[in-house]
Amino acid sequence: MATPRAGEGLERGETLRVQGLDVDYVTEEGVVAAVRDMAFSLRAGEIVGIAGESGCGKSTLAHAVCGLLRPPARIRRGRVELGGQDLVGLSERAMRSIRWERIAIVPQSAMNNLSPVLRVGDQIADAMLAHRPGTRAEAREKARGLLQMVGMSRRHVASYPHELSGGMRQRAVIAMALALNPEVLVLDEPTTALDVIVQAAILGTIRDLRDQFGFAVLLITHDLPLLLQTVDRILVMYGGGLVESGSADGIWRRPRHPYTRALLGAFPPLTGPRARLEAIRGMPPNLLRPPAGCAFAPRCPLAGEACRRQRPPLAVQGDAAAACWRWEAGEGEG
Amino acid sequence: MRYSARYLAKRLGFALLTLYLAATADFLLPRLMGGNPAQALASSTGLASPATVAAITKEFGLSNPNWGYQYGLYLWQLVHGNLGISYEYYPSPVSTILLRALPYTVALVLSATVISFAVGWSLGIIGAWRRGAWVDQLGVGVAFWLYAVPYFWLAMMLVFLFAFLLGWFPMGHALPSSITGLTPWQWVAGAVRHGILPVTSLVLTSTAGHLLLMRNNMLTVLADDYMQLARAKGLKPFSLMFRYAARSAMLPSFTGLMLSLGNVVGGAVVTEIVFSYPGIGLATYNAILSHDYPMIQGAFLMLAVAVVAANLLADLIYPLLDPRVTLH
């Protein structure tokens, strides 16, 4: 389970550190504040999950971390440090050599992430050949090994994507992501379109590979229960900002933020007595005109006057943190 | 191989059936129009004695009025490469006339087709890649303008400007008026000089469509999920643009290319009229004006053969380009 090391030297074993990150979408109707004041860090070998509902900014965050934002999205402020080097503001050429070599992403809807007209092995080989010298034959041979590593057959190098199932395509993209042994692997809703059995198998594979190679994983999903059983640490995002972070265990046993609690209540428990599912009332905030106070206040059963007036800061307590006025006041604990 | 021998045989058989039906339609059409070509020819040449009419009727294979007999004769001649005798250029065989015009047409239309696809695809790819940049805006703007301009007007303006006013190029025809005593090099140079204006006119009008289609396909592909992953892999722009994007975007355009290649032997009627270019198009046009049925039949049949062959070829090449297509 989780091995919380917070409180020790901040730099120790840290590979990725995001600080004060703001991402905007500049649209005709105005500036959408997609990510606000985001901060977290990832240690080598750690699996950190980011949870939140659609539109909370988690995919934007994943793209920002990998330097993949394209207009109209832009980083307004903040740092994304990889091994001490700030990636924000790097030229496209400099970013190109870092991507995949040091930070790789498995994007959303991985089913469609492979070109339909090129062989899987060649698409993996392309990633290797773009960064390292070598022949295509060597790269293909290495691709065979990678496919085997993620639980596929070596002969699938010669397959076209349409010949593979969704789960296998997903595994192929993961094999591709690991081709250059990156320090950080970003998984953006990697298993959304897959059934739970395949989901569990793929995440199991990722954990095994993490144990073997020691890369850090940033796993982004709207599926909080999935994170609870997969990751070491969880960050909960709402309305573009971080509302709670803590060990998976801690969040499961004692969620601090009312949104986290609501999110946990929205999924059925597989064991124990049958309980009525609680849907979260209302709609996610309009980030074109974000609320002045806590972004969750309009939907929060505990919201008070202070919540609507001022945005709560992230209050740290041990290895956990939450941004909630109510929690500080002691009323949020339940 | 991505297709079986069985598929190959089936596809080939289908092509032959199509050709047979085209040939049959070709046989029926002039007969449905009525009239007696032998009498028409004999009277037009002022040799209208009954003996002459009978002789010509026999030569045209019309002495037996039974369509079944004529049909059999027609097919028999066809299989032996005999397309009949031209009414207009009596007694030259149709095949001779067509074969004389064919090289000009193929040189003209083939080069125009190849150039317009090459230019249209390149500009479409670059335009989509740099969407909204000046090269894209200029390309799309000019393409729409050319698309809207009537072809004959464009061709005539080219002749007026570059041949009549400036005198850079000849006004028409495919070769200098006297070709005796020309060295092979001079002959080629003359042919190219005569070809530049008609080829340019064809390229200008047909490029626009290829550009717009390719640009659209390219934009669709660029928005696909796999392009983002390809970018995230750290691929160089060249590889992204061609190996990943254009490679997929060309698939819908490929069919258009093959069909255009099939239509090459049909000639470019308006071009050949405007530039007095002695190709198949002009020959067919004249044949229609002078009711030269065997000529029309021959030209149509040749076109049918070329289109069917191009289709067959396209069907055989396509699975090699798109692995999702397998043929059984």
**Strand A30-43 vs strand A14-27: parallel, antiparallel, or unpaired?**
antiparallel
pLDDT bucket at B1, cuts 50 / 70 / 90: low
Does A173 reach chain B within 8 Å, measured CB to CB?
yes
Q: Give, as one character, the DSSP assignment of residue B15.
A: H
Contacts of A22 (CB under 8 A, 6+ apart): A33, A35, A36, A37, A38, A75, A76, A77, A78
Q: Which residues of A touch B229 (CB under 8 A)?
A: 105, 107, 113-114, 173, 176
Residue B217 has pLDDT above 90, yes or no: yes
pLDDT digits (tens, 9 = 90+) for A16-64: 888 888 888 888 888 888 888 888 888 888 899 898 887 788 888 888 8
- Name the residue facing B233 among A100, A108, A112 (closest C-beta): A100
Cα angle value A257/A233/A282 (rounded, 5°)? 35
Count residue pairs from A and B with Cβ separation < 8 A: 77
Q: Do residues B249 and B214 lie in contact, with contact meaning Cβ atoms separated by under 8 Å?
A: yes
Handedness of CA B240, B242, B244, B249 (dihedral sign): positive
Higher-confidence residue of B37 and B11: namely B11
pLDDT for position B47: 61
A181 touches chain B (CB under 8 A): no
How many residues does the structure list for chain B? 328
Locate A128 and state its tokens: 């290797």
Amino acid at site B186? Q
3-state secondary structure B288-308: HHCCCHHHHHHHHHHHHHHHH
Question: Using 50, 70 and 90 to split pLDDT, how confident is the model at B2?
Answer: low
pLDDT at residue B17 greater than cutoff 90: yes
pLDDT of A280-292, one tens digit each? 777 777 777 777 7
> B217: distance to nearest CA of chain A, Å?
15
- Rounded to whole angstroms, how far apart are CA atoms B87 and B251? 45
Model confidence pLDDT, tens digit, residues B42-79: 666 666 677 777 777 777 777 777 788 888 888 888 88
- Lowest-pLDDT range, A156-160, A250-254, A301-305? A301-305
Q: Which residue has the tokens 């440090």?
A: A81
Q: What is the pLDDT of residues A194-241, one digit of tens each?
A: 777 778 888 888 888 888 888 899 988 888 878 888 888 888 888 888
Burial class (CB in 10 A: 0-12, 13-18, 19+), B213: middle
C-alpha closest to that of A38 among A57, A59, A21: A21
Q: Which residue of A has its CA nearest to B235?
A: A130
Q: Cβ(A311)–Cβ(A36) under 8 Å? A: no
B205: burial class by Cβ within 10 Å (0-12, 13-18, 19+)? buried
User: How confident is the model at residue B122, as a pLDDT?
Assistant: 93
In chain A, pLDDT over 90 holds for what percent of residues?
3
Residue A126 or residue A6, greater confidence: A126
| Burial of residue A330, with CB atoms counted within 10 A of its CB: 0-12 exposed, 13-18 middle, 19 or more buried | exposed
State the pLDDT confidence band at A6, using cuts at 50, 70 and 90: very low
User: Among A173-187, B15-29, B46-60, where is mean pLDDT lowest?
Assistant: B46-60
CB burial of residue B235 (10 Å; 0-12, 13-18, 19+):
buried
H helices of chain A, in order, are 58-65, 92-98, 120-131, 136-149, 166-177, 196-213, 224-230, 248-253, 258-265, 305-309, 325-328
For residue B326, the one-letter residue type is T
The answer on pLDDT for A271 being more than 70 is no
Nearest to B14 by CA among B297, B299, B315: B315
Cα–Cα distance for residue pair A197/A194, rounded to 1 Å: 8
pTM of the model: 0.79
Per-residue burial over B148-160, b if 16 or more Cβ lie within 10 Å, else e, is: eeebeebbeebbe
Q: What is the pLDDT of residue B46?
A: 63
> In this structure, are residues B156 and B261 in contact, taking their beta carbons and an 8 Å threshold?
no
**A128, B54, B58 from B50: Cα distances, Å:** 85, 6, 12
Per the omega criterion (within 30 degrees of 0), is the bond before B91 cis?
A: yes
Give the pLDDT mean for A145-166. 88
pLDDT band at B115, cuts 50/70/90?
very high
CA dist A280 and A249 (Å) reads 23
What pLDDT, on a 0 to 100 scale, did the predictor assign at position B327? Answer: 67
Q: Is A284 helix (H, G, I), strand (E, B) or coil?
A: coil
What percentage of chain B carries pLDDT values higher than 70?
Answer: 93
Partner A contacted by B223 (CB < 8 A): no
Mutate to test the interface with A, among B131, B221, B226 (most CBs of A within 10 A): B226
Verify whether the Cβ–Cβ distance A130 to B251 is below 8 Å: no
Q: Where is average pLDDT lowest: A67-76, B127-136, B145-154, B201-210?
A: A67-76
Tokens of A235: 């960050």
**B163 has pLDDT over 70:** yes
Q: Is A96–B236 a contact, with Cβ atoms under 8 angstroms apart?
A: yes
Q: What pLDDT sits at residue A333?
A: 45
What is the Cα–Cα distance from B105 to B108, expressed in whole angstroms?
A: 5
Task: Output the CA–CA distances (angstroms, integers) from residue B14 to A14, B17, B298, B303, in the order listed.
Answer: 67, 5, 22, 17
pLDDT value, residue A10: 42
Please, what is the average pLDDT of chain B?
A: 84
* Residue B19: pLDDT over 60: yes
* Confidence tier at A1 by pLDDT (50, 70, 90): very low
Q: How confident is the model at residue B212 (pLDDT cuts 50, 70, 90)?
A: very high
Model confidence pLDDT, tens digit, residues B261-320:
888 877 788 888 888 888 888 888 888 887 788 888 888 888 888 889 888 888 888 888
Per-residue confidence (pLDDT) for residue B126, from 0 to 100: 92
Measured between CA atoms, the residue of chain A closest to residue B318 is A117
Predicted confidence band at A270 (pLDDT cuts at 50, 70, 90)? low
Please report the pLDDT score of residue B291 as a whole number: 76
Interface of A with B in 143-172 (CB under 8 A): 160, 162
Residue B45: what pLDDT?
64
Of B232, B239, B248, the CB nearest to A107: B232
Q: In this predicted model, what pLDDT tens digit does every residue of A78-125 receive, in sequence order?
A: 888 888 888 888 888 888 888 888 888 888 776 788 988 999 999 999
Helix (H) or strand (E) holding B228: helix B225-232
